[in-house]
Amino acid sequence: MAEFDVDLFVIGGGSGGVRAARIAAGYGARVMVAEEYRMGGTCVIRGCVPKKLFVLGSHIRHEIEDAAGFGWTIPQATFDWPTLIANKDKEIARLEAAYTANVEKSGARIVKTRAVFEDAHTLRLATGEKVTAKHVLIATGGAPNHGRMIEGIEHVISSNEAFHLPELPRRIVIQGGGYIALEFACIFAGFGSDVTVIYRGDNILRGFDDDVRAHVRSEMEKEGITILTGCTIEKVDRYGDEYVSHLSSGSSVASEKVMFAIGRHPNVANLGLEKASVAINPSNGGIAVNAYSQTNVPHIYAIGDVTHRLNLTPVAIREGHAFADTVFGKRDVKVDHADIPTAVFSQPEVGTVGLTETQARAQFSRVDIYKTTFRPLKATLSGRDTRVLMKLVVDGVSDRVVGCHIVGDYAAEIIQAVAIAVKMKATKADFDATLALHPTAAEELVTMRTPTARHVRQAAE
| DSSP letter for each residue of 268-289 | -TTS-HHHHTPPB-TTTSSBP-
Quote the CA–CA distance of 244 and 254 in Å, as a whole number. 4
Residues in the chain: 461
- What is the Cα 152 distance to its own chain's centre? 28
193, 224 Cβ separation under 8 angstroms = no
Within 8 A by CB and 6+ apart from 86, the residues are none
Output DSSP code: residue 263.
-
Whether the CB-CB separation of 276 and 300 falls below 8 Å is answered with yes
Give me the catalytic one of 62, 146, 321, 438.
438
Q: What type of residue is 143?
A: A
321 noted as active-site residue: no
User: 79-88 — which CB contacts under 8 Å span 24+ positions?
Assistant: 79/168, 79/191, 79/192, 81/165, 81/167, 81/168, 81/191, 82/166, 82/167, 84/54, 84/57, 85/163, 85/164, 85/165, 88/50, 88/53, 88/54, 88/163
Angle ∠(210,207,17) on CA atoms, nearest 5: 145
Residue 371 CA to its chain's centroid (Å)? 25
For the chain, give the longest Cα–Cα distance.
Answer: 75
Residues forming the active site: 438
